[in-house]
Amino acid sequence: MLKYTGHPFVDVGVATITAFAGKHDPTHLTDADIKMVVDYITREYVRQPLKSFLTVAFPNSGFTNPAFDKKPESKLEYARRVLRSVDAPKSNELCVFTGDPAVNVVFKEKEDIPPGHAFRQHIPLLTGENVINFFPYGNSGLPVSGKSLLAIQALPLGCAKCGGRLLAVHSDNNELVYHFASNFLSENRKAVQIAQISGSKKMPETQLLHRTLLIATLLQRDMREDKQPFSLTAYRFSNSGQGVGLDIYSLPLEIIGFLQEMNTADYSNEWNGIVSRAWEVESTKKRVKKDDTHFQPRRNWLYEDLFDLPINAPIFLRTYFLRHALRYARADLGDPRGDYSLLNEANLVSWKITACFLRRIMHMDRERIEQIRTMGDKLAEYVSKQNDRRFFRDFYTEQRYDFLRTTLIKANLAHVKAGNPPIITLDSYIAVFEEGEELARSEWRLARDLVLIRVVERLHEQGWLGRNVDVIQESAEGESETA
């Protein structure tokens, strides 16, 4: 009956109809399933709270236009034309979404508008009726099939409302499209029932902010059975006459693959500890009015920062994996990252997670990852055995590459003079810090942070950090002064 097309609005609508019918495959839908969805939309779209909810998707449509309120029969006629056009006669034109014959139904009674052409009140983000720009052959509107039009009318039910806009989630993995549409549909139907019982004209928006909601909903799904990699694209849009807009958020397959691995048994305990410390905390800003409302976080800063990867990878690693306080974190917005500290959170530093991040997100080759780990192990052993607090502090805080290199050379010489083999060889040093001899890598600070992550993890395991908590405080202060 229905099928996925590759267009986000149609596919989310198809998934919504499928979930509404309690099925998982749209090709298994029956005429009875379609009738059940059509009846629900016909009944609920013309009354509150969905009538208000739909103004962001279908303004000026027969469902939301106040002019139709004076003529209830006009609403029913509009619903019949739009929703029941699945069984309407077909025209000679083809649907722009499916390639099937478009419907031969008059959506707008004007002589210059061909039957079966839909407009902004039928399909979000189209232009108005009298605008021919961006439409083929100089005709206004788009030719659509009854199936496509029905799916698009069901679209809002499979979206979340965030910040006055609708959030539709699409993917090259149809199971993921269904997962999001099904979850959002379930929440929307619950909200409709609650609003109608309480007499409210509005549906509440989602508790979580849109990007945090995307990750949280994604992780509700067991992705271990997905054999093929996939990506995700979210469309946060408004078709309202008061402000048309579209924001697009993408999660490429690299980030989704990383999240999949983080939720396996090998990583989940350490990863969940890092994630839990990234949730919004109650703002330090005094409330204008005191109430008894219990604080509920709306944002997870780690989830939000995932959408800026890999551009922000160095800051991401330093903040979440090295537990370095973020200077521009705003406490008045409930941002907990300004309170991150090795002093209290060394147990959250994990080389295993870092190595996976480097491999999945930054595409770093395994040989260099191993070189970084080995160097970190040797430096941690040196600091622990020699109790070289000054080296640890300098290595943590140095902001000039030549000074960092000198610090490593001094430690290497001191170790050799004591009758020990070199901590660092030329080959390993070049592999980690330089592109070639005397040519520092442009991201040498990132390389230093990666080595430091392994050093901190090993020193924490050995108990050295616990016995030298003051050097961590000194290191943080020293960096703040020199950076």
Q: Sorting pLDDT into bands at 50, 70 and 90, what band is 226? A: confident
What pLDDT is recorded for position 418?
85
- Quick check: 54 and 26 in contact, CB under 8 A? no
pLDDT at 117 over 90: no
Q: What percent of the chain has pLDDT over 70?
A: 89
Q: Name the residue with higher pLDDT: 82 or 208.
A: 208
CA distances from 334 to 13, 293, 343 (A): 36, 16, 21
Per residue in 383-408, pLDDT (tens digit) is 999 999 999 999 999 989 999 999 99
Q: Name the residue with higher pLDDT: 436 or 249.
A: 249
pLDDT at 441 over 70: no
What pLDDT is recorded for position 7?
96
Q: Please give the average per-residue pLDDT across 148-167, as a whole number.
A: 95
What pLDDT is recorded for position 339?
92
What pLDDT is recorded for position 127?
76
Lowest pLDDT segment from 235-244, 262-271, 373-382: 235-244
Q: Name the residue with higher pLDDT: 87 or 436.
A: 87
Lowest pLDDT segment from 131-145, 294-308, 406-420: 131-145
Q: Name the residue with higher pLDDT: 64 or 129.
A: 64
- Mention every residue, 6+ apart, whose C-beta is less than 8 A from residue 289: none
The sign of the torsion formed by the CA atoms of 78, 79, 84, 85 equals positive
What pLDDT is recorded for position 63?
87
